[in-house]
A and B are shown apart, each in its own frame.
Chain A
Amino acid sequence: MSDAPSSEAVPRLPRGVRLRHDKNRDEWLLLGPERLFKPDNIALEILKRCDGEATIGAIVEDLAQTFDAPREQVAKDVRAFLVGLAEKQMVEFA
């Protein structure tokens, strides 16, 4: 099961999942097999940081600083978002 990845876990997009900007619709899209996910602004900021190197901890830190937001809240949101995507096999943890 994918519950509670540690803050050392490194989230990444699995093979066959791509984040791309669609010029027709002028929006970012996460594409997977028969799946299409339209990230909102916050989701997009998280996804852009899932580069296969940054840990969850580092991503939270970066977001908290960039948006001057309370770290605990950010940590909670980031986790919930990533776990949700992992259930749909759109994110995996290394």
Chain B
Amino acid sequence: MNEGTQDIPAPLGLLAELTHRCPLQCPYCSNPVNLERRSGELDTAEWKRVFGEAADLGVLHVHLSGGEPTARPDLEDLVAECREVGLYSNLITAGVSTDEERLERLVEAGLDHVQLSMQGPDAQINDFVAGMRGAYEKKLRTAKAVGRLGLPLTLNAVIHRHNIARVGEMIDLALALGARRVEIAHVQYYGWALRNRASLMPNRAQINAAMQVVESAREDLKGRLVIDAVVPDYYARFPKPCMGGWGRQSLNVTPNGKVLPCHAAETIAGLTFETVREQSLADIWYRSEAFNRFRGTDWMPEPCRSCERKEIDWGGCRCQALAFAGDASATDPACHRSPLHGHMLAVAEADAKEEEAFVYRSFANAGAP
């Protein structure tokens, strides 16, 4: 039963970063720049315990992610455990290392949904961005296998300057592959993406054009394809409610068991994150300092404190505030009410003109910038 900590809602989603290992090297990867090695990963029994605790806590959806989650040989076991405890399981995969037999075993174990990342609508752009030759062909094979097995498929198209003009083709590809849903996800600038911002950032005209393509496709394809678009906030007036608000809806568990309110939370110095190796998920969710630090609205400074939108966007992204204001409790500079909004816009516009090469995500490039 709910521990009934009155004002704190139970979480809905858990992102399980099963491993940081991945055959791809996407330069916008949301993993931290310091990647965790295999030896530090939670083992099968530990993950199973986490899923049980998550279900008890009220979590409904589990996103099995990474890195590349299929790099874990025990993935079938973990999926089966999710089904056992009643969690809806979603596999977030790059789709370059799973054959149909493996997928079939995962389906038998009770997998509910597959989310396949796509770096571009053809082999040339896809493989260039992913940093792996032959990746595109493998992804297509995975998508078709998912279809044959009757599992619902979401295509996750990560959008940045190098493929933004091709959003329409990405949507067409999703249709052709029988996806039920496509996510047009503009790169969020933290982790590896922050390091590569100057080579990824699109300009405002490019973003507007892409948004129009999405809008009209959405109308045309109603009932056939669900299109979810995460609008980039560098050029917006208001920030997004990061993760639906800090400590309100979701939690992340990293490969070595740290529990985070969002992907990038570890970039915030001065916050300590508890681990599932030492505490229960419920204790961490309801009582840990990190989850309570930016929860709700009490921590907010002006202009958020007296703003009518404070329970809509919850003050935006803490990590972005930190990156720009040097202070994680500042108003997200994506908000036009932030004194740093102009500065952020200028940075984005300057970056959009740069011609930097990618720093690919790899263990070799990990560590200090």
Asked if A36 and B12 make an inter-chain contact with CB atoms under 8 angstroms apart, the answer reads yes
Q: List residues of B whose CB falls within 8 A of some A CB.
A: 1-2, 10, 12, 56-58, 60-61, 86, 88, 90, 112-113, 115, 150-152, 154, 180-181, 183, 222-224, 226, 228
The one of B58, B115, B152, B226 that contacts A22, using a Cβ cutoff of 8 Å: B58
Interface string of A32-63 (1 = CB under 8 A from B): 11101000000000000000000000000000
Asked if B2 and A24 make an inter-chain contact with CB atoms under 8 angstroms apart, the answer reads yes
Complex: how many Å from CA A32 to CA B150?
A: 15
- Write the chain B residue with the least CB distance to A21: B86
Query: In the complex, what residues of A have CB within 8 A of residue B90's CB?
Result: 33-34
Kindly count the residue-residue contacts between A and B in the assembled complex, taking CB atoms under 8 Å apart.
63
Query: In the complex, what residues of B have CB within 8 A of residue A32's CB?
Result: 113, 152
With A16-B113, A34-B228, A89-B180 in contact, do A1 and B60 touch (Cβ < 8 Å)?
no
Complex: how many Å from CA A89 to CA B179?
A: 11
Complex: how many Å from CA A48 to CA B228?
A: 28
B280 CB to closest chain A CB (Å) equals: 15
Ranked nearest first, the 10 interchain pairs of A and B with the lowest CB-CB distance are A16-B152, A24-B58, A2-B223, A33-B113, A16-B113, A31-B88, A89-B180, A87-B223, A24-B2, A16-B112
Asked if B152 and A33 make an inter-chain contact with CB atoms under 8 angstroms apart, the answer reads yes
Complex: how many Å from CA A2 to CA B225?
A: 12
Interface bracket on A: 20 to 34
Interface residues of A in 10-37 (CB under 8 A from B): 14-18, 20, 22-25, 29, 31-34, 36
> Which of B1, B88, B151 has the most CB atoms of chain A within a 10 A radius of its CB?
B88
Interface string of A68-93 (1 = CB under 8 A from B): 00000000000000000011110000
The one of B58, B150, B222 that contacts A87, using a Cβ cutoff of 8 Å: B222
Write 17 A-B pairs (CB below 8 A) sorted by A numbering: A1-B224, A2-B223, A14-B152, A16-B151, A16-B180, A18-B88, A18-B112, A20-B86, A23-B1, A24-B56, A25-B10, A31-B61, A33-B115, A33-B152, A33-B180, A34-B61, A34-B183
Query: In the complex, what residues of B have CB within 8 A of residue A20's CB?
Result: 86
- Write the chain B residue with the least CB distance to A92: B180
Complex: how many Å from CA A86 to CA B226?
A: 10
Query: In the complex, what residues of A have CB within 8 A of residue B58's CB?
Result: 22, 24-25
- Write the chain A residue with the least CB distance to B111: A16
Complex: how many Å from CA A15 to CA B152?
A: 6
Asked if A33 and B154 make an inter-chain contact with CB atoms under 8 angstroms apart, the answer reads yes
A69 CB to closest chain B CB (Å) equals: 28
Query: In the complex, what residues of A have CB within 8 A of residue B223's CB?
Result: 1-3, 86-87
Complex: how many Å from CA A29 to CA B10?
A: 15
> Which of A33, A36, A86 has the most CB atoms of chain B within a 10 A radius of its CB?
A33
B313 CB to closest chain A CB (Å) equals: 19
Query: In the complex, what residues of B have CB within 8 A of residue A87's CB?
Result: 222-223
- Write the chain A residue with the least CB distance to B57: A24
Complex: how many Å from CA A32 to CA B60?
A: 10
- Write the chain A residue with the least CB distance to B55: A24
Complex: how many Å from CA A32 to CA B56?
A: 20
Query: In the complex, what residues of B have CB within 8 A of residue A34's CB?
Result: 61, 90, 154, 181, 183, 228
Complex: how many Å from CA A30 to CA B114?
A: 18
Complex: how many Å from CA A22 to CA B1?
A: 10
